[in-house]
Structure 1
Amino acid sequence: MAEKITITVRASGAHPDVLTVQDAMQQVLDFFNLLSAGPKGDQGIEWKLSRATTNSPFEVTGEAVSLEPGVDVSVIARMEKNSVIDGLRTIERGEIPDPNVWGKKRIEIAKHIYHRNLNGIGITRVDFEIGEPIEVTPAFARKAVETLEHKEHLELYDFKRAKEEVGSIEGTFGNLDTYRGRPAISVVDNRTKRVVWCLLNSKLQTELADKARYEDFWKHSRVIVSGVIKYGKNGAIALVEARDVRKIQERKVTLEDIRDRDFTSGLSIGEYLNRLRDGTLG
């Protein structure tokens, strides 16, 4: 019997227009990538497209086939499916799978999957045809990201001394929520594309609680968060003790806005460049 997997991707109910074709397709691809990213590689298995629908929801079924004609890969495919399921269930329990058994590459792929469920994808449902399907929701993805990024495994990272510094991060506002029991906001850092939790002091709680009623003011807005940035032992930002949160006001700039008609001080372009090359300018 052929081994199959069906992956269903749904948009967020609150923001159905946020789900992009790229995110939906990459989410599907990454789940298939999990199967071939174990310590032993793809083991001669290819996942053939068996069925796909672009209707809502986006759904794809893949079937395991051999790269070598006449070779039955169903047993190996089922082993890889079981391995992926075991790792995902481990993450559900708030633990990190052993990278030597599950594979370091799989852990990195899983991070990308969970991050997408925090930024546009509402539910990702995977039917491995083994036991109950696995469902990833934004609420679960948030906990999974915390598990994978804030409970570093000894074999996953080269430990460096944790540190903190005063500074700021720029990114996309995610949610007003709590982080380990404290009021916080989630921000997708522009530089690393990772979710960073920013803890709020009492002053910011009051300010954001007032504006949070107007979801359109904050949701998916670009923001700058200033405060004490705390780094984990792996060198990545663990969290921010926020002192200020500001929305970045975007403004269109025309060529006329930045044109300086007196830049050459009345000289022609040719004369200005000649003096610049000769060192006689100014």
Structure 2
Amino acid sequence: MTERLIISVDPGPLELGQRVQEVFGHVLDLFELLAHSGSTEEAGVGWRLVRVSMNSPLTIEAEAIAIQPLPPGVELATVARRQRTTFARNVSALKHGIFPESWRSSREMARVRRAFGQSGRAVTSVMVPADDNRSKSAVLKDESVVVGPSDLPAVEKAIQDAVNDALPRPKTQRGSIEGQLQDITTYYGKPAIKVIERRSRTEVWCTVSEAHRVEIAEHANFDDVWSGRRVRVEGTLVYDEGGGLAKVIADSVHIVAVRDVAVDEIHDPNLTQGLSSDEYLDRFREGTLG
């Protein structure tokens, strides 16, 4: 039994000015999505052109063929029917605001965006003609779906959700940083301080939660900013995808006490063990210091 599929695209009113390339590109994207609607086993299935109607809507009828040997005991009709059903269900999921898992690669997401998200007023229909044992007018309902302009908000939501899911998640860990307090301000509407991190000398935003706002405010003020005071910020360190410190979600901010150190405090008269500086350095280089 031959498995067939009908896909039609109505580009919408003439005043939209859809170009031929856009309409045919729409159909090509749909057939590429069909090819990526199943398991690796179904990669051996292709769809041969049977009929094309150029009258609007542009309609393509195709039938399944084997483009590479299928595993022993696997029938072409079974695999093609499964791929076709998955494709129709994926289109139906988009219509209801759900992005299909099998189309989440960057290439397939781009095809979905072109075929459904950027098609404007176009109407896309996926139908399955009846097999030889059924009436010519019969259509398999669970494999037929129409996506039109009224479905565009749900489709766009599904696409945006998929894009957001694909974004890299920042890495977080508990820790602290030290640096020079540069500003007390807000960051995207939240209380925050800006610190020049001691090691990297880069600016780091440290946001302050409402739960810790009062406590932190007691430990830092504008005079500390003007004095360039050194602070230690403790909380959740958020790193970007490149491994750099992006920001800190602060639990506490403490002023680090800094004082002048007298030379006598660090002077050690016995450092060279009674040797002159030249003798000490020579032995140090030779590795013969006791």
The normalised TM-score by structure 2 is 0.47
Highest Rg: 1 or 2?
2
